[in-house]
Amino acid sequence: MKRLGTTLALVAACSAAPESNPQGLRAPAPTKPSPDQQVAADRLLAGPDWYRHAVFYEVNVRSFQDSNGDGIGDLAGLISRLDYLKDLGVDGVWLMPIFPTAFKDSGYDIADYRAIDPAYGDLATFDRLLAEAHARKMRVYVDLVLNHTSDQHAWFQESRTNKTNPKADWYVWSDTPGRADIGNCGPDNPRFGDGWSRDETRGQWYYHRFYKEQPDLDYRNPDVVRETLDAARFWLDRGTDGFRCDVIGKLYESPTGCDMIPETIAYIKQLRAVLDEKRDAAGVGPTMVSEPSELNDSTKYYGDGSDMFHMSFDFGFGYFWQLAFGARDKKIVDDAVKMTIGYPKGAQPAQVIGSHDVPRAWQYTANEPWRHRNAALLQMTLKGTPFIYYGEEIGMRPGTQFVVDDRDASRTPMVWTKEGPGHGFTTGAPWIAFGAEPETTSVAGEDADPASTLTYYRQLLAFRRGHTVWGTGDIRLVALDVGTIVAFVREDPTEAYLVAVNLTDEDQEGVAADPLPGAGALAFGDGSLEAGGGSVRVKIPATGAAVFKVR
C-alpha cells in the first residue's frame, strides 16, 4: 500500500496542469519525459500490471536491421538498434516469427519450435538480445504460432510416413478431402485453397486452415497439447517476457463452430497457467496478447479477466480510424470506443493502427502526415496498450514488390538513412525492395526535425509516460454538436483528461452539454477549451488535435 501511495504521489507531481490557455496556443511538447514521470513509469512497469502501462513495438526482424551484409535483418542487427527504440519511448518489443522456416508464409510456417532460423542468428544471440533488452528495462515478446506448423517440421515429416508411426495422429488426416469433426471450417481466404491437400506418401488428405505448406496440428491428441505447452515453457525458461499468439482461436474445429469453441478456450487457459507459473512473489510475470479471429471479437479472449489473455488486439480501432478520417465522421471512431467500454472487467485492448497483415497507415492518410499523427494520438490515448508497427513512427511508405504475397507491401526494410542503395538497413542487396520514397522518409532525415512524424511520436510517448490514467483509466465519450471532432474523457482517481481530435483540414468548434471533472488546461497539442454554465466549448484548429487536463 505504501508503494502504491508513492506511485500515485509521483504521478500527481508529474501531472501538474499547465496554466489555462484560452487562446489555444500550442502546448510545449518535450521529446523526453520529466524525471518525475520516468520514476513513476519505472514503478508502474515493475508491477504486475506493467503491460497496461507499456508501449510495444512490433518488429519484423527480417526487415529491421542487417548486421552481416546478406540483405536479411537479424537479431544482432536488432540489438544494435535497441537504443533507438529506448529513445523512442518503447517498453516492449514483439518479434515476428524468428524460428526455422521454409518461408512460405513469412515465417508463420514454423519448422522447429525450439530454435532460431540461421538467417536471424542462434539461441545464443537470442539470449543476448534478452539480456540487452532487459538491461534497458524493455520486454521481449515472441510470436507463437500454435495452430499449425510448416510441412517441413520434423513432426509432419514423421506423421506423413505412414498411419502407424508415433506422430501419425499429430495432424488432421482423412481418407477424403473432408472430415465430420471438422465440419465446414475451411480457410478464410481464397489464397489458401479449400483447406485439404493430398499427401502421396501417406496416401491421405491433410487439413490446413492456411497455406497447404501449413498443416494444422490435431489438438485432440494430448501429445500435441503437451508438446506445444512445453514449447512455450522453453522460451519462458530462457527469460522471454511473453507471447503474441497467432490465430490461436482456430486450434479446434467442430461441426458447430470454427473459432474459439470450448476446447480452444480450455487450451488457452492451460497456456495462461504455464505463463502464471513464472510469476514472482509480487505477481509480476510474463503476459500474452491474442490475435482475434474476426474483427471486433476481442471479448472472447479475456475469459474472466484473469484466466485467459492479458491483452487482445483491437482491430476495430485500426480499421475504424481509417474510415473516420476518410468520411470525416467521428461516429465511426465513437463506435470503436463504445466497444472498448463494453469489454469485461480487467480486459486490456491492444491498440494498433497498422500491422504486418494490413497496408501501411500511410496508404490511408492520403500522403497527409497530419492524419497519421492524429491517428497516433488517438491510439496513444484510447483505452488499451499501444502497439507501434515498425516504421510507423517515421510514416514509412508501402512497397510494391512481393516475395510471398501482397502483404509484403507492409513488410519492407526499415529506412534508417536517406542514402541508398541500402538506406542504413544493409550493405548488401535487401531481401525485398524498399517501400516508396525511402530518400524522403528515414530515421536520419527526421531525427532532428522538430516538425517530423518521428519527433511527434517521441513527444506523444513522452507525454503519456508515467500517467496511470492512460493505462488503466476509464473512458467515456463526450457528445459534441459537431460530427468532425472525436472527443472523450480518460479519468482515474489521480487525474482526468479530455482528448479532442479534428478529423478535417478546417478549423472546427463543438459544444457539449456535458460537465467535465474540472476546468481545462491545454496539456498536449493545439486547441482551446471553455467550460462553464453546464456546457463545454472545444475549438480545434485545422488538422489539429489536443489533450486538455481537466482534473
Which residues form the catalytic set?
A: 246, 291
**CA neighbours within 13 Å on the CB side: how many for 247?**
21
Give dist(CA 281, CA 23) in Å, integer. Answer: 51
Find the largest Cα–Cα distance for the chain.
80
Provide the grid cell at 455: 519527433
Give dist(CA 233, CA 212) in Å, integer. Answer: 28
DSSP 259: S
Give dist(CA 420, CA 195) in Å, integer. Answer: 43
Give dist(CA 236, CA 283) in Å, integer. Answer: 16
Strand (E) or helix (H) holding 26:
none
Give dist(CA 245, CA 267) in Å, integer. Answer: 12
Contact 91, 105 (CB under 8 A): no
Angular region, 247: left φ>0, alpha ψ -120 to 50, beta rest: left
Helix axes 35-45, 2-14, angle to 10 degrees: 140
Provide the grid cell at 438: 525511402
DSSP 170-217: SB-EESSS--TTTTT---SSGGGTTSEEEETTTTEEEE-SS-TTSPBB
Give dist(CA 484, CA 462) in Å, integer. Answer: 27
Give dist(CA 396, CA 228) in Å, integer. Answer: 36
Residues in contact with 261: Cβ distance below 8 Å, sequence separation at least 6, in sequence order: 252, 253, 254
Residues in contact with 128: Cβ distance below 8 Å, sequence separation at least 6, in sequence order: 75, 79
- Kindly report the CA angle at 248 between 247 and 250, in degrees rounded to 5? 80
Give dist(CA 206, CA 155) in Å, integer. Answer: 14
Cα–Cα separations (whole angstroms), residue 346 to 247, 312, 350, 421, 457: 22, 12, 13, 48, 27
Residues in contact with 486: Cβ distance below 8 Å, sequence separation at least 6, in sequence order: 324, 330, 333, 334, 378, 499, 500, 501, 503
Provide the grid cell at 186: 475451411
CA gyration radius for the chain?
Answer: 24
**Kind of pairing, strands 287-290 and 204-207?**
unpaired
If we measure between CA atoms, which residue out of 58, 57, 59, 77 comes closest to residue 119? 77
